[in-house]
Amino acid sequence: MTAKKIYEIGEIPQMGEVPDEMYAWVIREDRLGVPEKAMQIEKMPVQKPGKDEVLVMVMAVGINYNNVWASQGVPISVIGEDTGYHIGGSDASGIVWAIGDNVKRWKVGDEVIVHCNRDDGDDEECNGGEPMYSKSQRIYGYETNDGSFAQFTTVQSRQLLKKPVHLSWEESGCYTLTLATAYRMLFGHPPHALRPGMNVLVWGSSGGIGSMAVQICKAVGANAIGIVSDDDKIPFVEKLGAVGVLNRKKYECFGQLPDVKDPKEYSDFIKKCRVLGKDIWNITGKKDVDIVFEHPGESTFPVSCYLVKTGGMVVICAGTSGYNLTMDARYIWMRQKRIQGSHFANLYQANQANEMMIQKLINPLMSECFQWDQIPLAHTKMMNNQHLPGNMAALVQAKKTGMKSLNEIK
């Protein structure tokens, strides 16, 4: 095949041949809004990898909440100030297409997945500390502007993980952000690290991160108590291994904490929290949960802080329902509860989480696989909470679903 300036979606160049341009889904300031308006296909230059970087030909991608926020410019616009664009996409599977001079661990042709933590590797936190605390830490495809919703993407060599051979491109491309986030939330904050027999309350347990948390609990021998908003989702979460699943629509203990100086309103709220607490006790055998896996935020945070056991941990990575979190501090100090923020994962944690996938202890739970031109639609579904349980994927250079390596595609 003669080299071309740009290849059509699904057209595979000769191994290692890098075209000048690529197709990408691009967000720009003047069209922020719903994903289908904000994201438009544009021809963009293919970036050459730096010394420690790798160019990946993207076979398939995962759909995450990141690009719902990015499309709307909420809570902040993530469009590059100097470049004027944002290409989203924080998950991908693909093939190493070119490598920088310093790259030793990967070679052209390796089949890989991308995790979304970037850092410059050059401070104390990245060398003996905690890379997620480095000032240079950024989420690729959200806090950086050249994500995976493109035919090619340039990533740091240390962003790559082995693609599980038993999974298709689309299955491989859809789980890393959610799995590694859940992994760090459950293992990354000792001494509150997941152990066999622990009870863990998992909000949104059929969603991206929640469904991974339930599976991790099951794999470790801990008890996940799942929460969903629809009885139809209950069998799905039970099948993942939750020991019990409750429908949050049956309870009224949500929203910000009422005014503690209004005794009637306050005691009504605590009574409503106890109704949920009692149903959890019915599952755990009258034990309070050791960990609450929090991400809805504003609407669930007060009850999460109330329900977690004395000395337990509420670990939170998001505020999907709002950021204005409230709690009764008396329960926090008297019962010595820990409130812990958590954000994605470092390379070690992402790799450990991926090992669980390679060992088939975790299912990627791909719910749907979209075509390249449906990537904005998939985000709109997520924005409207209309997506099926699990993780959504989309094809990029993989023409068909079910393909597991480049050899099958050629």
Ligand X SMILES: NC(=O)c1ccc[n+]([C@@H]2O[C@H](COP(=O)([O-])OP(=O)(O)OC[C@H]3O[C@@H](n4cnc5c(N)ncnc54)[C@H](OP(=O)(O)O)[C@@H]3O)[C@@H](O)[C@H]2O)c1
Q: Which residues bind ligand X (CB under 6 A)?
A: 64-65, 177-178, 181, 203-204, 206-210, 227-229, 233, 248, 295-296, 299-300, 317-318, 320-321, 343-344, 382, 385
* Cα 183 to the center of its chain, rounded Å: 10
Alpha carbon distances (Å) from 60 to 342, 347, 354, 366:
27, 21, 17, 12
Q: Which is nearer to ligand X, 126 or 350 (CB)?
A: 350
Q: Which residues fall within 8 angstroms of residue 355, CB to CB, at 6 or more apart? A: none
Query: Could you say which DSSP state residue 291 is in?
Result: E
In the complex, least distance from residue 301 CB atom to ligand X, rounded to whole angstroms: 10
Query: Could you say which DSSP state residue 146 is in?
Result: B
Per-residue DSSP letters for 338-385?
Answer: EEEE--S--HHHHHHHHHHHHTTSS---EEEEE-GGGHHHHHHHHHTT
Q: Which is nearer to ligand X, 71 or 397 (CB)?
A: 71
In the complex, least distance from residue 64 CB atom to ligand X, rounded to whole angstroms: 6
In the complex, least distance from residue 390 CB atom to ligand X, rounded to whole angstroms: 8
Q: Which is nearer to ligand X, 12 or 132 (CB)?
A: 132
Q: Which is nearer to ligand X, 209 or 313 (CB)?
A: 209
In the complex, least distance from residue 395 CB atom to ligand X, rounded to whole angstroms: 20
Q: Which is nearer to ligand X, 141 or 208 (CB)?
A: 208
Alpha-carbon distance 300 to 399, whole Å? 41
Helix (H) or strand (E) holding 187: helix 176-187
Q: Do 175 and 207 touch, CB atoms closer than 8 A?
A: no
In the complex, least distance from residue 50 CB atom to ligand X, rounded to whole angstroms: 25
Q: What are phi and psi of 67, to 5 degrees?
A: -85, -15
Place of tokens 């924005």: 383
In the complex, least distance from residue 254 CB atom to ligand X, rounded to whole angstroms: 7
Alpha helices (runs of H) in 287-326, residue ranges in sequence order: 301-307
Coil, strand or helix: which one is 67? helix
Amino acid identity, position 80: G
| Nearest to 216, CA basis, from 233, 191, 196 | 196
Q: What residue is closest to ligand X based on CB?
A: 207
Q: Which is nearer to ligand X, 249 or 400 (CB)?
A: 249
In the complex, least distance from residue 371 CB atom to ligand X, rounded to whole angstroms: 20
* Cα 355 to the center of its chain, rounded Å: 17
In the complex, least distance from residue 410 CB atom to ligand X, rounded to whole angstroms: 33
